Amino acid sequence: MSNPFFEDWNTPYGIPPFDRIQNEHYLEAFERGFAEQNVEIDRITQNQAPANFTNTIEALERSGALLAKTGMVFSNLSSSDTNDSLQAIELALAPKYAAHEGRLLNNQALFERVKQVYSSLPEADLDADQVKLCEDAYTRFVRAGAALEEQARDQVMALDETLAELQTQFSQNLLKDTNEFELVIDATEDIAGLSQTTLQAAKAEAQQRGKTNSYVFTVSRSSITPLLQFADSRELREKMYRAYIRNGANDNANNNQPLVSQIATLRLQRAQLLGYSSHAHYMLDDRMAKNPANVSELLGQIWQPTQKKVAQEAQDLQTMIQERGDNFELAPWDWWYYTEKLRSERYALDEDQIKPYFKLENVRDGAFDVAHRLFGLTFELVNDVPVYHPDVLSYQVKDADGSLIGLFLVDYFMRPTKQGGAWMSEFRAQSNLDASVRPIVVNCCNFPKSTPCLLTMDEVRILFHEFGHGLHGLLSQVRYESQSGTNVKQDFVELPSQIMEHWATEPSVLRNYARHVDTGETIPDVLIDKLLAADTFNQGFATTEYLAASYLDMAWSGLEAPTMLGVDEFEAKAMAAINLIDVVGPRYNSGYFQHIFAEDNYSAGYYAYIWAEVLDADGFEAFKENGIFDPATALSFRQNVLERGGTAEAMGLYQAFRGRAPAVEPLLRKRGLLTTSST
C-alpha cells in the first residue's frame, strides 16, 4: 500500500485521509521528511550567492514541508486517539525528532547565513513581518546553542534528545495511570447526594469498562469534580481526592516522580550551558515576561489579596461544618462539597439547577453565534469529511462575505485513548506564501459522553475558551506559516481564548443559547442574576489553587542547582515558601503536571494564564465600554490580535487594539479580589 503522506490529498478541504493512514506509515514518512529537509538545508548552505532574506530565511521557512505534514497528523492523533502502537512510535520518534532539530539548529553553515541576514536588517528593504521572521529565526538558533563552541553545542543537542524522550514518557505514563485508576461504586453503596446526571455519566463509564450494576469515577476533572461537590459520603470524597493528587505519583510502573527530577535537572544543565542561571531565565527571556522577577511581581500582586479571600472562605466553610453538627476540621476533600452547600444557601443556586440549561450542542452553537455576531462568521456542519474518530464533527467556516475561511473540527468527549484536559490544535495552519492555505483547526475537550451531555458552568467556560484558541487559528491572515495563528509568545497565546470566556456568561448571550434540555425554556433572568451574583464566589480558592501551581512551576524551573529533595519534599517546601493554606492544594502536583513536564512550551509558563487574564480582563473592558458586540471594537480585535499571529511583538499588538498598556485592576475586580468580603 502506498504511503498517503507522499501524495497530495484529494480529500474535501485537503483534510488528511484518516481512513488510509496506517500506523506503519508514520516512521517511513518521518524518515523521508528528515532526509528531504536535510537536502533542502544543504541547498541553502551550498548556495554561492550572498545570504539574503529570500535565499536563506524564506528558503528555511519553506523547508520541511513533508515533516510538518506528517507531524501535525501524528501529534494530533497521539494526543486524541492513541494506541499502544502509536505510543511506541512516539517514544521511539521523540529523540530522533529532537536530534534532527538539533542538527538543523546547530548547522554552523546555516547559522552563519542566518546571522548575515540578521546583521544586515538595518539596511534591508523588508516588510515588518519579514523582519520579525528573520529576528525570530536568529533567536531560535542562538537559543538552541548555535553560537556556542562545538563541545557545548553537542551537549545541548544530547540534552534535547534525552529531554524529548523523558517528556514523552511522562505524558504516556500519565495517560496510563489516569486510565488505570477507577473508583468503582456498587449500585447498592452510598451514593447519596449525587445527581442522576452525574450517576448516568458514571454508569456509562462503568459500561465502557465492562462493569455492570456499578458506577465508575475516574481522575478526569469532569469525573471527580461532581463527586467532590455532591457526594455525602466523606469517605468517598477523601478516596477520590487522594487518588487525584497522587495521579502519576503512585508506586507503580507509571510513577512520574523520577522523571520529574530528571527533567528538572537536565533543563537546568541545558540552560546553564546556554548562559542562563536557570531554566526559568532561559524560557522567560523569549516571552513577554522576560525574567522570573517580573513573573514573581505579577503573582505577588494577586497572591496577597487572594490569601485574605481564601482564608475567609475557609472560615465560612468551617462555620458551616460546625453549624451542621459535624465535629471535624475542614479538609481539602471537603472544600467542594461545603462550597456547594454554601453557594446554595447564599444564592439559592446549585449545579443541578444550572446543568439542564447547558446542553453541549446548545453551548457549542452559542459559541458559534458569538463568533457570528462579532466577526460575521458562519459554521456549517459538513458530513463528507474524513474524521479520525466517530465523535468528531466537522464545520465549514465562512466569512461575512461568504468566502471560505477554513475547516473547524470538534472532538468533545473523553475516552481512554485521549489525553486529559482540553486543547486546540491544527491539522493545517494558515499561510499565504506561495498560495492561500486555509486552516484546519480542531478543538478537543474531555466531557463525559452521555445522552444528553449536560455541562457544568466550568465546562461551559472551557468550551468557550478552546473556541477562542480556535478563532485565533481560523482567522489568522499571515504570509508565513511559522507566524500563523497561535504561534505567538506563550504568555500571549491565552488572550484570545480567555477573552472569549467573557461572552459565555453575558446575559444576552446566555438567553440565546441556555435552554432547558427538557422544556426548551430560555434560562430565566432570576437564574442569570444568581449566576452573576455568584461569579466571584469561591474565587479565593480558584485563584489560590491556580497560583499555587504557578509557583510550583516556577520553583522547579527556577532551580539554579540540582535539588537533593524528593519530589514530595520539594513540593512541600515550595508551598511552605508561599504559606499556602493547608486546606487548598495546587491545581496540579508534579506527577500529573502535564503542562510543564510533558513538553517545554508551558514550563516556566503556567503563569501565562493569569498574565493573559490581565490582558483579557482589561481588553474586555473595551467591549463593555463600547458594547459587547460593537463592530468597530470587534474589528480592531480581529485585525490587531486574531489576524496578526506572531508577525509583531505581542505587547505592540495588544496596545494597537487597546490604545494603551493593560492594567491589573480589571482582573482583580473580575475575581472579586479588590475587597476582603467573602460574598
Active site residues: 466
Cβ contacts of 506-513, under 8 Å, gap ≥ 24: 506/628, 507/532, 508/628, 509/366, 509/369, 509/370, 509/628, 512/366, 512/369, 513/362, 513/363, 513/365, 513/366, 513/367, 513/369
Query: What sign does the dihedral 296-301-304-307 (CA atoms) show?
Result: negative
Helix 567-577 crosses helix 257-273 at what angle (to 10 degrees)? 70
3-state secondary structure of 426: strand
C-beta separation of 12 from 384 below 8 A: yes
How many of the other CB atoms lie within 10 Å of CB of 21? 20
What percent of the residues of the chain are helix, what percent strand, and what percent coil, each to the nearest 5? 60, 5, 35
C-beta separation of 129 from 479 below 8 A: yes
**Residue 552: all three cell numbers together:** 510550583
**Residue 283 CB contacts under 8 Å (≥ 6 apart), including other chains:** 557, 600, 603, 604, 605
How many of the other CB atoms lie within 10 Å of CB of 24? 12
Burial of 535 (0-12, 13-18, 19+ CB in 10 A): middle
DSSP assignment of 498-554 equals HHHHHHHT-HHHHHHH-B-TTT-PBPPHHHHHHHHHTTTTTHHHHHHHHHHHHHHHH
What Rg, from alpha-carbon coordinates, does the chain have? 25
- Please state, in angstroms and rounded to a whole number, the distance separating the CA atoms of residues 185 and 206: 9
C-beta separation of 129 from 167 below 8 A: no
**Residue 664: all three cell numbers together:** 491589573
- Please state, in angstroms and rounded to a whole number, the distance separating the CA atoms of residues 246 and 257: 10
Single-letter residue type at 673: L
The residues pairing with 305 across neighbouring beta strands, listed in sequence order, are: none
**Residue 428: all three cell numbers together:** 493545517
Task: Give the residue carrying C-alpha cell 477507577.
Answer: 182
Q: What is the enclosing helix (H) or strand (E) of 406?
A: strand 404-413
C-beta separation of 585 from 596 below 8 A: no
The residues pairing with 215 across neighbouring beta strands, listed in sequence order, are: 185
**Residue 641 CB contacts under 8 Å (≥ 6 apart), including other chains:** 495, 496, 653, 654, 657
**Residue 661: all three cell numbers together:** 498598556
Closest CA to 137 of 44, 47, 269, 30: 44
**Residue 631 CB contacts under 8 Å (≥ 6 apart), including other chains:** none
**Residue 210: all three cell numbers together:** 465492562
DSSP assignment of 110-166 equals HHHHHHHHHHTGGG----HHHHHHHHHHHHHHHHTTTTS-HHHHHHHHHHHHHHHHH
